[in-house]
């Protein structure tokens, strides 16, 4: 693998930079760089700007509306977006359900759903987890029973999903449902696409300690779903579910964002003082920052190696990216909190929501850091907890 950027790669990077300079709205950029909360309109606005440019789905093949970039170009694009401080593109449609539809969906599903994902006409959410099925995902109990009546074939869905991220905005949910309870649990699951506006779907918010509404419970009460919304074959959903998880975990590594946050950490640590000199020059603190930077560089190389396997769906190596990526993200938030010290203590929801220009703490950079730190505890849980990923690595990569 050649890790040096060619002249073409550098020209591509300049093209991306120029586009971001001219098209990333300053108000969105400010929210991202200051760790303020983004709302649905913010995400949709940025999604549509990228969609108009043809850049919103970097990993999609050209035939479905992708830009036809190489793995390295995709990496450069992600790095530049992170560096500039763009809102993230919600992964549920573009990076999760779309690859499954492309690989296993019917022609009709591809034609109907993929353009709506590209244009953000449909906001998707992920209906995997249930109260009794998190790490043990194959234990899903939500049932889908097939019926045939005068209106055609459909499923009747009953059950509950939980921790459904941003389901309050969603138009569609991709769900793992039980279609056969009489066989080994992995063999009785199907992958079903459900309209969130259908009668019988209820979204109940789970409000976090910091008053943020990020996750939900979703209930299905006799929801009627057309059989045309089954992806692939009935009872083969477990295979599709695992394929999707590989894509989810690669995205969670977020190296570009961590590089940007490392820059912020260094700026904070230069500004704060300890024993009369900048914190960044304190040997103990500097050693922690250096160790983190080395980890991040190693992860960057690992991501490039995984991406270099062009055309292959990510396998168990995605678990390595997930574990290391989220460890690094959490360490970054810890060190930022340490650098900001007591300035990060006051909790100011109005400032985080953008309702007030400056924080009551008097330090706008430090004010969101405690909330940011606590929010990032989730990264080692979602997408399959890191303990589970370590189990996958030990079995499937190390052969233990």
- The answer to whether residue 163 forms part of the interface with ligand FAD (CB under 6 A) is yes
Taking CB under 6 A as the criterion, the residue among 84, 320, 388, 393 binding ligand FAD is 388
- The answer to whether residue 84 forms part of the interface with ligand FAD (CB under 6 A) is no
Give the CB-side neighbour count of residue 89, counting CA atoms within 13 A.
Answer: 23
Give the total of residues touching ligand FAD (CB under 6 A).
19
x/- binding map, residues 99-128, to ligand FAD, per CB under 6 A?
--------------------------xxxx
Catalytic, 295? Answer no
Residue holding tokens 């062009």?
310
Provide the token pair at 83. Answer: 């560096």
Are 1 and 65 a contacting pair, CB within 8 Å?
A: no
Pick the catalytic residue: 80, 130, 248, 317?
A: 248
- The answer to whether residue 385 forms part of the interface with ligand FAD (CB under 6 A) is yes
- The answer to whether residue 86 forms part of the interface with ligand FAD (CB under 6 A) is no
- The answer to whether residue 174 forms part of the interface with ligand FAD (CB under 6 A) is no
Are 58 and 69 a contacting pair, CB within 8 Å?
A: yes
The nearer residue to ligand FAD, 356 or 395, going by C-beta atoms, is 395
For residues 50 and 78, what is the distance between their CA atoms, to the nearest angstrom?
12
Taking CB under 6 A as the criterion, the residue among 135, 202, 309, 394 binding ligand FAD is 135
Are 78 and 95 a contacting pair, CB within 8 Å?
A: no
Taking CB under 6 A as the criterion, the residue among 143, 165, 186, 302 binding ligand FAD is 165
Range in contact with ligand FAD (rule: CB under 6 A) among 55-63, 78-86, 99-107, 376-384: 376-384
Taking CB under 6 A as the criterion, the residue among 86, 129, 333, 371 binding ligand FAD is 129
3-state class of 368 per DSSP?
coil
Taking CB under 6 A as the criterion, the residue among 6, 68, 387, 397 binding ligand FAD is 387
Are 95 and 251 a contacting pair, CB within 8 Å?
A: yes
**Least separation, in Å, of the C-beta of 98 and ligand FAD?**
16
The nearer residue to ligand FAD, 177 or 215, going by C-beta atoms, is 215
Return all residues near 221 (Cβ < 8 A) that are at least 6 apart. 158, 200, 201, 202
**Least separation, in Å, of the C-beta of 252 and ligand FAD?**
11
Taking CB under 6 A as the criterion, the residue among 164, 258, 333, 359 binding ligand FAD is 164
For residues 81 and 104, what is the distance between their CA atoms, to the nearest angstrom?
30
What DSSP letter does each residue of 137-163 carry, written as one string? Answer: GGG---EEEEEEETTEEEEEEEEEE-S
For residues 371 and 212, what is the distance between their CA atoms, to the nearest angstrom?
10
Report phi then psi at 312, rounded to 5: -90, 135
x/- binding map, residues 275-314, to ligand FAD, per CB under 6 A?
----------------------------------------
Return all residues near 248 (Cβ < 8 A) that are at least 6 apart. 91, 95, 96, 383
What residue number has its CB nearest to ligand FAD?
134
- Which residues make beta-bridge pairs with 149? 152
The nearer residue to ligand FAD, 310 or 398, going by C-beta atoms, is 398
The nearer residue to ligand FAD, 264 or 381, going by C-beta atoms, is 381
Are 138 and 238 a contacting pair, CB within 8 Å?
A: yes
Taking CB under 6 A as the criterion, the residue among 49, 215, 223, 279 binding ligand FAD is 215
- The answer to whether residue 384 forms part of the interface with ligand FAD (CB under 6 A) is yes
Are 238 and 187 a contacting pair, CB within 8 Å?
A: yes
**Least separation, in Å, of the C-beta of 106 and ligand FAD?**
24
Q: What number of helices (H) and strands (E) belong to the chain?
A: 14, 10
Residues serving a catalytic function are 248
Footprint on this chain of ligand FAD (rule: CB under 6 A): 125-129, 134-135, 163-165, 215, 378, 381-382, 384-385, 387-388, 391
């Amino acid at each position: 693998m050649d890790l040096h950027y060619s002249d073409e790669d550098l020209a591509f990077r300049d093209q991306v930079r120029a586009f971001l300079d001219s098209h990333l709205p300053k108000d969105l950029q400010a929210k991202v760089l200051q760790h303020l909360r983004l709302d649905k309109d913010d995400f949709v606005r940025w999604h549509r700007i990228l969609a108009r440019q043809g850049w919103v789905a970097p990993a999609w093949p050209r035939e479905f509306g992708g830009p036809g970039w190489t793995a390295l170009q995709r990496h450069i694009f992600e790095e530049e977006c992170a560096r500039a401080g763009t809102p993230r593109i919600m992964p549920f449609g573009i990076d999760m359900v779309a690859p499954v539809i492309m690989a296993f969906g019917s022609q009709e599903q591809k034609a109907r759903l993929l353009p709506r994902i590209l244009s953000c006409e449909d906001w998707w959410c992920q209906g995997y987890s249930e109260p009794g099925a998190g790490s043990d995902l194959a234990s899903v109990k939500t049932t889908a029973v097939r019926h045939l009546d005068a209106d055609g074939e459909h499923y009747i869905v009953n059950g509950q999903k939980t921790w459904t991220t941003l389901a309050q905005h969603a138009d569609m949910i991709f769900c793992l449902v039980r279609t056969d309870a009489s066989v080994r649990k992995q063999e009785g699951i199907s992958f079903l696409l459900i309209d969130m506006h259908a009668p019988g779907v209820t979204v109940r918010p789970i409000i976090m300690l910091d008053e943020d509404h990020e996750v939900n419970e979703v209930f299905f009460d006799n929801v009627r779903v057309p059989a045309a919304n089954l992806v692939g074959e009935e009872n083969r959903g477990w295979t599709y579910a695992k394929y999707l998880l590989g894509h989810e975990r690669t995205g969670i590594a977020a190296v570009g964002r961590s590089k940007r946050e490392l820059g912020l950490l260094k700026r904070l640590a230069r500004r704060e003082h300890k024993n009369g000199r900048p914190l960044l020059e304190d040997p103990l603190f500097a050693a922690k920052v250096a160790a983190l930077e080395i980890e991040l560089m190693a992860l960057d190389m690992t991501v490039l190696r995984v991406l270099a396997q062009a055309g292959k769906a990510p396998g168990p190596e995605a678990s390595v990216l997930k574990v290391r990526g989220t460890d690094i993200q959490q360490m970054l938030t810890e060190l930022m909190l340490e650098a900001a010290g007591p300035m990060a203590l006051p909790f100011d929801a109005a400032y985080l929501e953008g309702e007030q220009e400056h924080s009551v703490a008097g330090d706008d950079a430090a004010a969101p850091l405690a909330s940011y730190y606590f929010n990032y505890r989730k990264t080692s849980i979602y997408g399959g907890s890191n303990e589970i990923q370590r189990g996958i690595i030990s079995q499937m990569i190390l052969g233990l």
